[in-house]
A and B are shown apart, each in its own frame.
Chain A
């Protein structure tokens, strides 16, 4: 019995420590989520102005840019998979990786060759374990992505898009990421990044918001040349910010349920512990009573 008691006490102590840990992680995730949302908001003006400018150029000039031109017979497709760096976030990475697999399947059915780009250590580990070829990968700071990182990824993707297919370039680029719908809902999602569909109207211009006739300096072509790569980088940044907020929301939820489970476990262990201790006491009392009455019986017999 005492061995069992000590065992229970040890288990309870360790579960209590785990609960403290998961609780701390939950709180950290909760506070970072606020920061991630602020960051997404702070990046809003840049993305909005950029989208406005790009649609202005696209609307008022008939410029064909390599980044917006659809290739006739796409043979190779690049997939950028945005996952997290760390685990403890429930099914977050598993979900987005599954969505990526689904897209890969679709592309393969269309007879397209897949070139993989990865962001986040979880995705890298998944691909590495399956010994798949990865064109390029980035990791670090998945919960607070910087614009510089988005630029880096954009540069790599644009370069491979502009390379002719025969020389190892790609014809289209997709991004798989997790969209932050609300604190409760995050959805793994796919968007096609390139070729660009500029007038996709994430925010449809209001009726009175007629785009003015712009003058271009130096020329519409050159302005577009300068703008589109920035636009691509801003789109990637947007996806990464969404993914970061989703990751943190998932982590908070996972850690909350872990904390709740630990609490349940502690309660049931406490009950077992009390029961075991009570049983031990009861047994000791009955042993004493038994011993005493045996002694009393023996004394009564001798006199």
Chain B
């Protein structure tokens, strides 16, 4: 896979009800359960579960953005990267203040159950918004 069949990645960030972002990128950095993976063009096919809930993308125009993708997974094949998460969202679409408040509410509500979906969603949103700003 060393030959440069393509100089960029075709990235699709897909939520359950819509496609959040679609475009070409130079690099995608995602945190899977085994740690961060950086994906460059020519990466071997990969299927991984995301953890931590954020994905970083540098587009071909050298724009950089962070997206929240809690409980998602990433699939890479033939320079096509698909990031699937039910509640995927772009970092700059998230209101940091609001996300922080939601996280606090989730924390307050979820003390007995440390691993609730709402908590993970709120955490991912805060992290994405923080990294964006």
B16: contacting residue among A57, A223, A226, A237, CB under 8 A: A237
A237 nearest CB neighbor, chain B only: B16
Q: Interface readout for B35-76 with A: 1 if CB under 8 Å, 0 if not? A: 001000000111111000000000000000000000001010
B78: contacting residue among A147, A212, A230, CB under 8 A: A212
Instruction: Point out the residues of chain B lying under 8 angstroms from A52, CB to CB.
Output: 75
Q: Does B29 contact A (CB under 8 A)?
A: no
Q: Does B3 contact A (CB under 8 A)?
A: no
> In the complex, are the beta carbons of B47 and A216 less than 8 A apart?
yes
Instruction: Point out the residues of chain A lying under 8 angstroms from B116, CB to CB.
Output: none
Minimal beta-carbon separation of A240 from chain B (angstroms): 12
Q: Does A50 contact B (CB under 8 A)?
A: yes
The docked-state distance in angstroms from the alpha carbon of A46 to that of B48 is 16
The docked-state distance in angstroms from the alpha carbon of A214 to that of B80 is 13
> In the complex, are the beta carbons of A45 and B12 less than 8 A apart?
yes
Interface residue ranges of A13-67 to B (CB < 8 Å): 39, 42-43, 45-46, 49-50, 52-53, 56-57
Q: Does B82 contact A (CB under 8 A)?
A: yes
> In the complex, are the beta carbons of B49 and A45 less than 8 A apart?
no
B34: contacting residue among A50, A214, A217, CB under 8 A: A217
Q: Does A218 contact B (CB under 8 A)?
A: yes
Instruction: Point out the residues of chain B lying under 8 angstroms from A226, CB to CB.
Output: 49, 73
Q: Does A105 contact B (CB under 8 A)?
A: no
Known: A46-B84, A214-B46. A53 touches B19 (CB 8 A): no
The docked-state distance in angstroms from the alpha carbon of A230 to that of B34 is 20
Minimal beta-carbon separation of B16 from chain A (angstroms): 4
> In the complex, are the beta carbons of B47 and A56 less than 8 A apart?
yes
> In the complex, are the beta carbons of B46 and A53 less than 8 A apart?
no
> In the complex, are the beta carbons of A146 and B47 less than 8 A apart?
no
> In the complex, are the beta carbons of A45 and B32 less than 8 A apart?
no
Instruction: Point out the residues of chain B lying under 8 angstroms from A42, CB to CB.
Output: 17-19
Instruction: Point out the residues of chain B lying under 8 angstroms from A233, CB to CB.
Output: 16, 86
Instruction: Point out the residues of chain B lying under 8 angstroms from A237, CB to CB.
Output: 16
> In the complex, are the beta carbons of A218 and B16 less than 8 A apart?
no
> In the complex, are the beta carbons of A213 and B49 less than 8 A apart?
no
Q: Does B99 contact A (CB under 8 A)?
A: no
Q: Does B109 contact A (CB under 8 A)?
A: no
Interface residue ranges of B6-22 to A (CB < 8 Å): 12, 14-19
The docked-state distance in angstroms from the alpha carbon of A237 to that of B18 is 13
B44, B46, B75, most chain A CB atoms within 10 A: B75
> In the complex, are the beta carbons of A223 and B73 less than 8 A apart?
yes
A212 nearest CB neighbor, chain B only: B45
Minimal beta-carbon separation of A17 from chain B (angstroms): 38
Minimal beta-carbon separation of A46 from chain B (angstroms): 5
The docked-state distance in angstroms from the alpha carbon of A38 to that of B84 is 19
> In the complex, are the beta carbons of A222 and B49 less than 8 A apart?
yes
What are some 12 contacts across the A-B interface (CB < 8 A)?
A49-B84, A53-B47, A53-B82, A212-B78, A214-B46, A214-B77, A215-B44, A216-B46, A217-B48, A218-B32, A218-B48, A237-B16
Residues of chain B touching chain A, judged by Cβ–Cβ distance below 8 Å, are: 12, 14-19, 32-34, 37, 44-49, 73, 75, 77-78, 82, 84, 86
Residues of chain A touching chain B, judged by Cβ–Cβ distance below 8 Å, are: 39, 42-43, 45-46, 49-50, 52-53, 56-57, 146-147, 150-151, 211-218, 222-223, 226-227, 230, 233-234, 237
Nearest 10 CB-CB pairs, A to B? A217-B48, A147-B16, A212-B45, A217-B32, A214-B45, A42-B18, A226-B49, A49-B82, A214-B47, A215-B46
